[in-house]
């Protein structure tokens, strides 16, 4: 493991630090938060930073810092579970389609084509407005929509790997599909999938935030970063009188942006590293 992180460029270190801080905040946020999630510190909306509320208050007079800490857990938690689910579903079907081919591949691929033909945001909005906006529903909808992308990559990887002679050798040995997929193909497909996981995770965070911003995501009173941007957007109008008021909409926006950049830096490095090792093996 130590060897894996050797020669890490500065950008990747920055990415790693950003991601680590966000994960810590998501896990321990509620513990270190000064107030309860929806406790109103003041009756005045958008009060500037003070000793009671370090980042000021939001549109309902709740402490911004507290909301940010709780929001981290919601946003990252939902995004993580949704991404894991989308990878589980996408890899399972993608590998099946890529390895078995024929009718299985045709049916699965055409279904995915239909899903991918509809813009993902429109599709999600449609599904959420029909199914309601509970957290499990949001997670499932994002997982299904995102799984189509994972399916494509997994299918391509499995198609390339399943014609390799070591996979053929496993078939000749009489191994079942589970062994072939799990032991022969998956370990060799893992590096590109891990890098892809980082990128998709950050798309999902943006996606959850977009949904919340449009009002179909996490419902009040629970905090999440995208929703907080929407709720406090109007405070920008008052920033002309006191620039510090702009912290309310900007803090969650900056948090989303930093995390996205951080994950991208880390994923870029992992992808580059993987390309280097593959090139080295083939040379």
Site for other proteins in 243-282 (CB under 8 A): 280-281
How far apart, in whole angstroms, are the C-alpha atoms of residue 49 and residue 65? 10
The residue range among 82-90, 129-137, 143-151, 160-168 that interacts with other proteins, by the rule CB under 8 A, is 160-168
Residue from 136, 187, 220, 221 in contact with other proteins (CB under 8 A):
187
The residue range among 43-51, 180-188, 208-216, 249-257 that interacts with other proteins, by the rule CB under 8 A, is 180-188
Q: Contact 203/86 with Cβ under 8 angstroms? A: no
Residue from 37, 58, 146, 184 in contact with other proteins (CB under 8 A):
184
Residue from 43, 172, 178, 241 in contact with other proteins (CB under 8 A):
172
The residue range among 125-133, 147-155, 169-177, 267-275 that interacts with other proteins, by the rule CB under 8 A, is 169-177
Closer residue to other proteins in complex, CB, 68/167: 167
Question: Could you tell me the smallest distance in angstroms from the CB atom of residue 169 to other proteins?
Answer: 6
Q: What is residue 40's DSSP assignment?
A: B
x/- string (CB under 8 A) for other proteins, residues 19-58? ----------------------------------------
How far apart, in whole angstroms, are the C-alpha atoms of residue 165 and residue 236? 62
Question: Could you tell me the smallest distance in angstroms from the CB atom of residue 212 to other proteins?
Answer: 40
How far apart, in whole angstroms, are the C-alpha atoms of residue 65 and residue 248? 10
Q: Contact 128/211 with Cβ under 8 angstroms? A: yes
Nearest CA among 216, 194, 211 for reference residue 263:
194
Number of neighbours of residue 73 by Cβ within 10 angstroms: 20
Residue from 4, 114, 130, 173 in contact with other proteins (CB under 8 A):
173
Residue from 175, 194, 206, 239 in contact with other proteins (CB under 8 A):
175
In order of 34, 42, 67, 113, the CA distances from 53 in angstroms are 9, 9, 11, 49
Token pair for residue 28?
């321990």
40, β-bridge pairs: 62
Closer residue to other proteins in complex, CB, 63/184: 184
Residue from 27, 111, 131, 169 in contact with other proteins (CB under 8 A):
169
Question: Could you tell me the smallest distance in angstroms from the CB atom of residue 168 to other proteins?
Answer: 7
Measured in residues, the chain has a length of 283
Question: Could you tell me the smallest distance in angstroms from the CB atom of residue 185 to other proteins?
Answer: 9
Closer residue to other proteins in complex, CB, 103/172: 172
Give buried/exposed letters for 214-226 (b at 16+ CB in 10 A, else e). eebbbeeebbbbb
- DSSP string spanning 183-195? IIIHHHHHHHHHH
Closer residue to other proteins in complex, CB, 117/174: 174
Burial class for 6, CB neighbours closer than 10 Å (0-12, 13-18, 19+): exposed
Token pair for residue 13?
């270190």
Quick check: 178 binds other proteins (CB under 8 A)?
no
Contact residues: other proteins, CB under 8 A: 164-166, 168-175, 183-184, 187-188, 280-281
């Amino acid at each position: 493991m130590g060897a894996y992180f050797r020669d890490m460029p500065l950008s990747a270190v920055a990415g790693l630090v950003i991601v680590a801080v966000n994960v810590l905040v998501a896990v321990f946020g509620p513990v270190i938060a000064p107030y309860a999630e929806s406790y109103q510190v003041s009756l005045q909306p958008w009060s500037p930073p003070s000793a009671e509320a370090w980042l000021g208050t939001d549109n309902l007079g709740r402490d911004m810092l507290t909301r940010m800490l709780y929001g981290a857990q919601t946003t990252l938690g939902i995004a993580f579970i949704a991404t894991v689910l989308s990878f589980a579903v996408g890899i399972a079907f993608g590998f099946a389609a890529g390895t078995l081919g024929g009718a299985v591949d045709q049916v699965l691929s055409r279904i995915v084509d239909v899903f991918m033909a509809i813009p993902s945001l429109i599709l999600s909005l449609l599904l959420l407005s029909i199914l309601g906006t509970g957290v499990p529903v949001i997670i499932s909808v994002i997982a299904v929509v995102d799984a189509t992308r994972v399916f494509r990559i997994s299918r391509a990887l499995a198609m390339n790997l399943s014609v390799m002679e070591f996979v053929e050798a496993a078939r000749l040995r009489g191994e079942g599909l589970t062994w072939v997929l799990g032991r022969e193909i998956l370990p060799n497909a893992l590096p590109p999938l891990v890098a892809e996981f980082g990128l998709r995770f950050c798309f999902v965070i943006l996606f959850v935030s977009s949904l919340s911003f449009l009002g179909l995501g996490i419902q009040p009173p629970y905090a999440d970063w995208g929703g907080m941007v929407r709720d406090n957007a109007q405070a920008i109008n008052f920033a002309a009188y006191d620039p510090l008021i702009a912290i309310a909409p900007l803090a969650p926006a900056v948090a989303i942006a930093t995390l996205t950049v951080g994950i991208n830096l880390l994923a870029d490095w992992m992808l580059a590293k993987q390309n280097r090792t593959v090139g080295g093996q083939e040379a």
